[in-house]
Amino acid sequence: EIVLTQSPATLSLSPGDRATLSCRGSPRVSNYLAWYQKRPGQAPRLLIYDTSNRATGVPDRFSGSGSGTYFTLTISSLEPEDFAVYYCQQRSSWPFTFGPGTKVDLK
């Protein structure tokens, strides 16, 4: 089973700040790495798939990069609605697994 770890656990930032979230996979993950946003009381939302592809309707302030075992989600300038929990998820091998999440909260 591929284990995903995310860092930091919490990121305290202000609107307009740049956010960089990390996800590491062990063993190695191919490029089948996705990012989801989860706001309280709302359904998860697909942001990025296959490392760097934005899902339909996702603003271009969200971007993904990485390869192998290290991946990042970058939010170039935080909007008020971006304060949420972000999960990475791999589909390179069974079972599909999620990371524990990074909470982006208001500083």
Partner 1 sequence: EVRLVESGGDLVQPGGSLRLSCAASGFIFRSSAMAWVRQAPGKGLEWVSSISSSGDIRYYADSVKGRFTISRDSSKNTLYLQMTSLRAEDTALYYCAKEGPGLVATVLGLWDYWGQGTLVTVSS
Binding positions for partner 1, 55-84, rule CB under 8 A? 55-56
Six-digit token pair at 81? 């609605």
Six-digit token pair at 51? 């490392």
Measured from the CB atom, the residue of 13 and 46 that comes closer to partner 1 is 46
**Omega within 30 of 0 (cis) for the link into 80:** no
Site string for partner 1, 24-53 (x = CB under 8 A): --------x-x-x-x---xxxxx--x----
Cα gap 7→19, rounded to integer Å:
12
Q: In whole angstroms, how close is the CB of 14 to partner 1 at the nearest point?
A: 25
Q: In whole angstroms, how close is the CB of 86 to partner 1 at the nearest point?
A: 11
Six-digit token pair at 72? 């990042």
Place of tokens 């490392």: 51
- Which residues here bind partner 1, judged by CB under 8 A? 32, 34, 36, 38, 42-46, 49, 55-56, 87, 89, 91, 94-101
